[in-house]
Structure 1
């Protein structure tokens, strides 16, 4: 049976084909069969993880914590130079210029990405806003959060900064960023599950050198990644501890 590979649903739609190219490249270079399955929502993906159906995953920081602590996954690499930050966004027509301009009763559009949501809520604190005085609706993707803002169904939205930056210029021009986090040490990572860990060293070696190989470099470009860098156990544990602290 093939191994199963998946990607956190917060990737940019423009990079979907890139992940399929990456999966083909992986199969060829690891000389094993790998099936790529993409999910429309975080919840659907987490159900498959809990059912033990995932062997390799490009995970967001919150899911990385769950995968390592609860399911025995091991972080292999992370995308160099890419850090996960959250942004608080309003429609361009909004009267709010800074977070402090927001008031109780605002309608929030968010996702099931807990680290981004938690960081976003922390950034709302200067406006004395919390879950007790806002109306919140959860959407499956950042594209749907953007649509909610543009349709007038929400007053403020939380985005993964990279997810916001990768929206089309036409959409971004209709919104305004009020504030961006600057944590710097939280990031997505590629994790390998217990059933596939015999490939861990080979996978690490292939990926950290992927940008030096012409075909590999082309695949990375299609994914919006410059190169991979190794992740140590210490780096993984530090990030997980930070996420756990934020989630308290």
Structure 2
């Protein structure tokens, strides 16, 4: 009888541990944690309801810190930029499951709206703000094009897209790198102080990926839940807040081969 009770206790404890397991949804901190939470917490709640898993939003204070946390497996589900995905799919076995539908990510360079600068050549020897060395569209694409144009510049890394925009608007930097989506989410009072002078070609956008510790069955559940956002009123409202108005589609690792082909080299500050 004693053995049976012990066995039942172990089974019950194991069941409770599994029931209480939290899956973290790690989101690249392109914006402040409070701004991200407003739109990503509803997604985490939706995914929890659809999958039966306990999924919670998580991020990091800076993009470099986010990179470190991804590298050590801190997140179970990750939303990360295309370049980061190509790195971590190889190093820690992240598996892509979804991405934004009919979307090509573009890098931009912005200057103050009253600036006389209108093209990249006019940025010769300028200090240019970027979110982080490995921010794909907001940093690596603009820097690659500046380098191809033999335009000398000094990179300054300021931790987020919002910090880039604020720094340029305040006159702390001549220009800054970003992406259209984060620029479009700024308050009008700030975005009106900026103008785009350059856009990159388009590439496969950010990936939703799962850790190698997530079972194939759980990955499919999460993938189906993401795609189901397209079909429900609640889901479409979440997509709108995220800026994913075209919806979400299932994805596979090879979708990011266009990014791998760039053979990106990171410029340190």
User: Could you tell me the TM-score, scaled by structure 2's length?
Assistant: 0.81
Equivalent-residue separation in structure 1 for 2:238 and 2:194 (angstroms): 31
Partner of 2:145: 123
Equivalent-residue separation in structure 2 for 1:118 and 1:11 (angstroms): 18
The correspondence for 1:174, drawn from 169, 177, 193, is: 193
Equivalent-residue separation in structure 2 for 1:31 and 1:197 (angstroms): 15
Q: Does 1:197 align with 2:215?
A: yes
CA displacement at 1:232 relative to structure 2: 2.4
Partner of 1:26: 47
Decide which moves more: 112-121 or 191-200.
112-121
Please tell me the root mean square deviation across aligned C-alpha atoms, in Å: 2.1
Q: Does 1:211 align with 2:233?
A: no
Partner of 1:95: 116
Change (3 A) 1:72 1:29: same
Equivalent-residue separation in structure 2 for 1:210 and 1:176 (angstroms): 33
Partner of 2:8: none
The correspondence for 1:65, drawn from 48, 72, 86, is: 86
CA displacement at 1:74 relative to structure 2: 0.5
Encode CA deviations 1:145-188: one digit per residue, 9 max, x unaligned. Answer: 11211222111111122222322222222122111112x23311
Encode CA deviations 1:198-241: one digit per residue, 9 max, x unaligned. Answer: 311222222223211222222222222232101123224x1442
Q: Which has the higher contact order (CA 8 A, sep 6+)?
A: 1
Return 5+ residue gaps in structure 1 as ranges. Answer: none
Partner of 2:165: 146
User: Could you tell me the TM-score, scaled by structure 1's length?
Assistant: 0.88
Equivalent-residue separation in structure 2 for 1:180 and 1:91 (angstroms): 16
The list of structure 1 runs, each at least 4 consecutive aligned residues, that deviate by more than 6 angstroms after superposition, is: none
Map 1:99-118 to 2 at 5 A: 99-104=120-125, 106-112=126-132, 113-116=134-137, 117-118=139-140
Checking the alignment, whether the CA contact within 8 Å between 1:115 and 1:246 is kept in structure 2 is no
Q: Does 1:7 align with 2:41?
A: no
Equivalent-residue separation in structure 2 for 1:91 and 1:223 (angstroms): 26
Task: Return the index of the structure with the highest Cα Rg.
Answer: 2
Equivalent-residue separation in structure 1 for 2:251 and 2:214 (angstroms): 17
Return 5+ residue gaps in structure 2 as ranges. Answer: 1-20
SS in 1 for 2:73: coil
CA displacement at 1:59 relative to structure 2: 0.8
Equivalent-residue separation in structure 2 for 1:216 and 1:142 (angstroms): 26
Partner of 1:42: 63
